[in-house]
Chains A and B, each alone.
Chain A
Amino acid sequence: MTMAIQLEDLHKTFGNTVRALDGVSFGVEPGTIFGLLGPNGAGKTTAVRILTTVLQPDSGVARVLGHDVTAEPDLVRTLIGLAGQFAAVDENLTGAENLWMVGRLNHMSKAQLRDRSASLLEQFGLTDAANRPTKTYSGGMRRRLDVAASLVAHPKVLFLDEPTTGLDPASRSDVWTMIGSLVAEGTTVLLTTQYLEEADRLAEHLVVINHGRVIAAGTPATLKANMGATVLDLGFVDERTAHRAGEVLDVVNDKAPVVYGRTVEVNVNDGPRIVTEALRILEVEGIAPTTLALREPSLDDVFLALTGHRAELDATEAPGDLPSQDGRRQTSKRGRGK
């Protein structure tokens, strides 16, 4: 079976020093949603740009539906759709005109385009705004239009680079539903994201990349299974106390505790025993936790364990208005796990 997307030992260096991709390989089966997960600067966007023929790799092979992107870029461009990291819409054009432009540049006939444009605007809830210049659109509307534009020519493989960055929760949920239904039509979707929730919800397979290398691959379930069975979260009054607690708790478990901000996190297989022991040690040291929780590991924890820092930590550089995340991720002052 031809893979929808295939990367083999892909390298890309910017300047002489920045290794955006340092030997990345993975494959995506047709008709699936594939998640490419990693913090900002991990190399996600570089991988997408190479796959969409926007950028040339230094070495390695990238194929879309069996076609080498550097050898047959024109052919590959007829097979793919791209919604890049910025909502790349022309502000001076209306929503309908933006779809017209992209459709015409995909060499669709006017008749095809008229029907397609109308149905996409309908599907993305933009019919009422279709004839307004997009500079009057909200961030969510622009992003929806951007995704709609990437779908105009019925791409077989769709690349969505952080499709929900900057969206409010309702719009995010709409985009997720839309992505799910694309796969029902047979489209293969490669999705990059910093949101673990998004990858968990949508992707059948994932790779996690950091510093241009694949550091984990598998289904969301296997990635979570590789973690301890339970996560012990301990909160403290301040960062210094948390740091000290992290040091003294090092003995309770094989895996070292991870300290971020005022929280200490321990991945454990034997939760109740460790809880007892941890509390005993803390009491001896005279440290009182302010909160304590035992919970199932999330992809967040997987990410933290793999990369040494929280997924959204570096997201502050992301363009435009960042979404206000649920409280758990909003505390951006958290230190990196040390």
Chain B
Amino acid sequence: MTTTTFQPTGGSAVVSSPQGGRLYWAIADMLTVTKRNLIGYTRVPEAIFFSSVQPIMFVLLFRYVFGGAIPTPGYHYVQFLLPGIFVQTVAFGSIGTSIGLAEDLHKGLIERFRALPMSRWAVLAGRTTADLCRNIFVMALMTAVGYAVGFRIGTSVGEYLFGIVLLLLFAYALSWGFAFIGLSAPNSETAQLMSFPILFPLTFASSAFVPLQSMPGWLQAFAQHQPVSILVNAARDLMSGTPNPNLVLPPFTSVVSTGRTSSTVFWAVVWSLGILAVLAPVSVRRYRRRAL
């Protein structure tokens, strides 16, 4: 330290909501935290790079290794697979939310935030919003990867983009849920480990990689009604189009339609908003109450 004299600073300049109301400051705080998290991402580009490697591996694995053995009536496998992989990618990406918050907690930043006159939900909203921005980047990348392995938009660009918006909404809602795990875990490694047992059954016991009809009855019952399948069905309808009845491969003799697109999309939106409406308040409550 070079200077050891401190000039009097002329009175207090603490500004507590001088202009604008609570909502104004809540949004301002959220944007500040979002910006802070996004700066963090740019400082560790390796993290983004390597977190993109895994979904690309999944694309290659299922497209070229397993894909040939999985009959998907109504679709070429690559058309069937990619929307599923997209959903899996953004779902797993929401683990990042739990890791980020667990780190903030562990490093004392949450303690600092809680002593600041900032909005109570801004820390979580800033984190989930930054993760939403990351997902936008990831989806752009995955679209390019999809094109490279032979995926083609089966509908229109507009519907495809709508499908991406739907995935982002779903991932955003999941992020709020994983925020709870991040705030409950003792450290970031454990936060990651705690997230897997939730995501694994949801993403694999779903219609993401195989047609549901290939599963045993009891599993089908679960897989058919869980949110990841619902999102995958909606994304597939919007991105690859509805199943083509002329494209039927054994052992299935007929196409089991996922229903009309408008209905799959409707339920995907309902699930995403429902998850958000339930888990966001739960996580904010956790943030307020968490003993440090």
Contact = CB atoms under 8 A, between A and B. Distances in A.
Contacts of A87: 108
Most chain B beta carbons < 10 A, residue from A53, A55, A104: A104
B17 interface: yes
Contact of A185 (B8, B29, B43, B112): B8
Interface stretch (A108-116, A223-231, A254-262): A108-116
A182 B8 CA distance: 8
Contact of A171 (B1, B5, B12, B109): B1
Given A92-B44, A106-B116, A144 B1 contact: yes
Nearest to B3: A123
A184 B7 CA distance: 10
A31 to B, nearest CB: 13
Interface string B1-19: 1111111110111111110
A86 B6 contact: no
A109 B108 contact: no
A294 interface: no
A91 B292 contact: no
Nearest to A153: B14
A315 interface: no
A107 interface: yes
Contact of B1 (A55, A124, A182): A124
A102 B245 CA distance: 59
Given A106-B14, A184-B8, A55 B115 contact: no
Contacts, number: 132
Contact of A105 (B5, B11, B113, B292): B113
A105 B115 contact: no
B272 to A, nearest CB: 29
Interface string B31-49: 0110010011001100000
Interface string B103-131: 00001110111111110001000000000
B43 A178 contact: no
Interface of B: 1-9, 11-18, 25, 28-29, 32-33, 36, 39-40, 43-44, 107-109, 111-118, 122, 291-292
5 contacts: A88-B111, A91-B107, A105-B118, A107-B117, A185-B8
